[in-house]
């Protein structure tokens, strides 16, 4: 790369970083440490991790020194996401991106407030890409620190594709845009099957396999309509068998009412498939 192209790239990267810094906030609770958040809309919606905000309120510090009191309006501890609102307009909002478009080796930026520093930025790359049904997390080779939680993970053109959440084995784990979109939809909009499940391990073709035993089927539910029965064992979805019991949680996280699933099941030792259309019920699917 010639010096002129290199200088242009550095200038563009600095400009993108500056915009990400302006859309990243520092969050401070009354009795707990600080974390980060991302301005998701110009009229005051801010996203962060659920573990960053412990109470119903937080203090928000903007890049330009402005301070606001924020109110927590939605929190999902399972997804580790929370939404806050501040009484402000014309904020510098992030540009949401699509994590499905990420590729291994692609450069990404993380912006947050580590260890009391304000709006620190790090450059790294995508480490791995999970299968489409398991893209709850984005893994990147980035060194984060306490205070970075809730900050933005973005492409080098400024598209925010995740919310940084934790460090595992030296890699940053960010909650993907698909999960963020699901969170921002109605909280009452949970996928519903109408079954109670218990985790089991069955022997199939002389190999142990994780599965979910159907312990009960609700009358007039999508499960009953599809012919599921007490004692059936769910072993996979959409032609993919579970590798771990947590795989089902990944499917449910990215699902919505109206989605059609092809379930892989075992009944009396025999495999079979059933098609099911997910329903909508506020309580969602029970798991025992």
Closest to 50 measured CA to CA, from 74, 31, 67, 28? 74
Sign of CA dihedral 27, 171, 119, 97: negative
Contacts of 223 (CB under 8 A, 6+ apart): 193, 194, 195, 214, 217, 276
Tokens 């801010």 sit at which residue?
Answer: 46
d(CA 238, CA 228): 16
Give me the helices (H) in 62-104, please: none
Active site includes 141? no
Q: Report helix, strand or coil for 283.
A: coil
CB 140, CB 102: distance < 8 Å = no
Q: Report helix, strand or coil for 146.
A: coil
The answer for 162, left when phi > 0, alpha when psi is -120 to 50, beta otherwise, is beta
CB 163, CB 81: distance < 8 Å = yes
Residue 141: phi and psi, rounded to 5, are -80, 80
Active site includes 149? yes
Q: Which helix (H) or strand (E) holds 224?
A: helix 222-225
Q: Report helix, strand or coil for 87.
A: coil
d(CA 115, CA 122): 14
- Residue from 23, 34, 36, 149 carrying the catalytic annotation: 149
- Residue from 80, 148, 232, 250 carrying the catalytic annotation: 80
Active site residues: 51, 80, 149
């Amino acid at each position: 790369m010639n010096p002129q192209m290199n200088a242009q790239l550095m200038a563009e990267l600095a400009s993108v970083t500056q915009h990400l810094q302006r859309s990243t906030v520092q969050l401070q609770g009354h009795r707990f440490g600080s974390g980060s958040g991302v301005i998701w809309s110009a009229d005051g919606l801010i996203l962060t991790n659920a573990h960053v905000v412990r109470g119903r309120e937080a203090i928000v510090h903007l890049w330009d020194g402005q301070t606001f009191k924020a109110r927590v309006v939605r929190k999902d501890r399972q997804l580790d996401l929370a939404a806050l609102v501040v009484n402000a307009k014309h904020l510098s909002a992030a540009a949401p991106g699509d994590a499905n478009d990420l590729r291994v080796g692609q450069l990404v930026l993380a912006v947050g407030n580590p260890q009391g520093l304000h709006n620190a930025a790090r450059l790294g790359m995508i480490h791995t890409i999970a299968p489409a049904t398991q893209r709850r997390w984005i893994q990147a080779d980035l060194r984060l620190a306490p205070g970075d939680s809730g900050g933005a993970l973005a492409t080098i053109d400024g598209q925010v594709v995740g919310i940084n959440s934790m460090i595992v084995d030296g890699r940053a784990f960010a909650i993907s845009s698909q999960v963020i979109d699901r969170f921002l939809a109605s909280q009452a909009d949970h996928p519903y099957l109408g079954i109670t499940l218990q985790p089991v391990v069955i022997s199939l073709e002389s190999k142990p396999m994780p599965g979910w035993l159907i312990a009960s089927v609700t009358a007039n539910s999508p499960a009953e309509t599809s012919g599921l029965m007490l004692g059936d064992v769910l072993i996979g979805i959409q032609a993919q068998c579970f590798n771990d019991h947590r795989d089902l949680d990944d499917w449910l996280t990215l699902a919505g009412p109206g989605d059609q699933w092809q379930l892989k099941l075992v009944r009396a030792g025999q495999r079979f498939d059933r098609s099911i259309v997910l329903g909508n019920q506020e309580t969602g699917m029970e798991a025992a």
